[in-house]
Amino acid sequence: MTDNIKIIETGDGSHSLLNLALDETYHSRHGALQESEHVFIRNGLYHCKNNYPGVKNLNVFEMGMGTGLNLILTLQDALKNPDIGYYYTTLEAYPLEPSVALQLNYLAKLDDKPLNSLFQKIHQLKWDEVHELLPNFALEKLQIRLEDFTTKERAFDLVYYDAFAPNKQPELWTYEAMDQIQQLMKKGAIFVTYSAKGQLKRDLRSLGLKVESLAGPPGKAEMIRATK
């Protein structure tokens, strides 16, 4: 896979990757870091915690680990909130080589020294196992396709849906895929994604979720947040 991957600099100075086979970037070209912070952290994680004041445990599901940017930003939050227990499940069918991921400049941009060893670790840890990254943060890394993922043990409070765009991976944006996701969510759980496709909104509504069209990150007019 390394031959098909190229590191690029986005508009905010942070790195992303270009998948040459798909001709698709892993993040917005306008800014990888600011996109993840806006979509998944501010409008996802922070909103979820505000909906559950005094929450003690938070189960997060991520579709598409990719570069690990959403994960490292969630770890940053966990370091600031040691009283909350985080259980983070991330799926990635085609993992990056650690040698590629560790060339990305997120740590320099975040300037958060406690994250340094954690960022290295998340890309080097074995797949299909649960790892304790912090006393209050467990990471479950699964090398698996969404359609093959099943669990009866965990319902999620928050979903980061960060697959490649619908025109690149249409199978991950179908009604059936969204139905699978909503079945993993607790009542009151939050779903966030950078996409703002009209069909996606209609599918989520037809599955019983409350859908909001929010202002998108720089370079994008809208994003979607949905609540079960």
Band of residue 2 on the pLDDT scale cut at 50, 70, 90: low
Pairing mode, strands 156-161 and 185-193: parallel
Q: Which string of DSSP letters, residue by residue, matches 169-227?
A: -GGGSSHHHHHHHHHHEEEEEEEEES---HHHHHHHHHTT-EEEEEE-STT-SEEEEEE
Rounded to two decimals, the pTM is 0.96
* Residues β-bridged to residue 190: 158, 227
Please report whether residue 198 resides in a domain: yes
Please report whether residue 1 resides in a domain: no
Please report whether residue 81 resides in a domain: yes
**pLDDT, tens digit (0-9, with 9 covering 90-100), for 50-83:** 988 888 999 999 999 999 999 999 999 999 999 9
**pLDDT, tens digit (0-9, with 9 covering 90-100), for 102-142:** 999 999 999 998 898 999 899 999 999 999 999 999 999 99
Phi/psi-derived region of residue 68, left when phi > 0, alpha when psi is between -120 and 50, beta in every other case: left
Of 80, 105, 86, 79, residue with least CA distance to 16: 105
Of 156, 169, 196, residue with least CA distance to 66: 169
Please report whether residue 4 resides in a domain: no
Q: Which two tokens stand for residue 40?
A: 């998944």
CATH number of the domain encompassing residue 158: 3.40.50.150
Please report whether residue 201 resides in a domain: yes
Please report whether residue 215 resides in a domain: yes
Please report whether residue 17 resides in a domain: no
Range of the domain at 176: 31-227
Please report whether residue 11 resides in a domain: no
Which residues make Cβ contacts (< 8 Å) with residue 179, sequence separation at least 6? 207
How many structural domains is the chain composed of? Answer: 1
